[in-house]
Amino acid sequence: MNDNKTILVADDESHILHVVSLKLRNAGYRVVTARDGQEALELAQQEKPDLLITDYHMPQLSGLELCQKLKQEVSTSDIPTIMLTARGYHLEPADTEKSGILRMLSKPFSPRHLLATVNEVLGQTIAA
Partner 1 sequence: MRRVTFLSVLSLVLLAEGIGCLVVKGGVAGPSAGTDIPFYAGTVLMLLGATSAMFALVIVRNSCRRLQDRITELTSNRKLASLDAGDGQLTPLVQAVNDLIEYAEASVGDAAMKLKEIEIELKVAKARRHHAEAILYSISDAVLVTDSFDELVLANDAAARTFGFDLAAATRRPIESIITDATMVQLIHEMRQSNSTNGWRVVEHQLKGANASRTFKVTLSCVSDRADEPAGVVAVLHDMTKEKEVAEMKNDFVSNVSHELRTPLASIRAYVEMLIDGEADDEKTTREFYEVIQNEANRLGRLIDNILNISRIESGLVKINKQPQSLTVILKEAIEIISPQLKLKQISLEEQLTPVFYQMQADKDMLYQAVLNLLSNSVKYTPEGGRITVQTLVDETKRKVITRISDTGVGIPPKDLPFVFDKFYRAEANNRMAKGTGLGLSLVKHIIETVHRGRIFVESQVGKGSTFGFELYLSE
Q: Which residue ranges make up the site for partner 1 (CB under 8 A)?
A: 12-16, 18-20, 22-23, 26, 57, 59-60, 86-88, 106-112
Dihedral (CA of 72, 74, 80, 82) sign: negative
Closer to partner 1 by CB, 36 or 47: give it. Answer: 36
Q: Are 10 and 47 in contact (CB under 8 A)?
A: no
Distance CA 66, CA 62 (A): 6
Least separation in angstroms between residue 14's CB and partner 1 is: 6
Least separation in angstroms between residue 97's CB and partner 1 is: 26
Q: Read off the amino acid at residue 61.
A: L
Output b/e per residue, 24-41; b: 16+ Cβ within 10 A.
beebebbbbbbbbbbbbb
Least separation in angstroms between residue 11's CB and partner 1 is: 10
Least separation in angstroms between residue 34's CB and partner 1 is: 14
> What own/partner pairs with CB < 8 Å and gap ≥ 24 does 103-109 have?
107/16, 109/84
Q: Are 121 and 51 in contact (CB under 8 A)?
A: yes
Closer to partner 1 by CB, 30 or 125: give it. Answer: 30
Closer to partner 1 by CB, 12 or 96: give it. Answer: 12
Closer to partner 1 by CB, 93 or 108: give it. Answer: 108
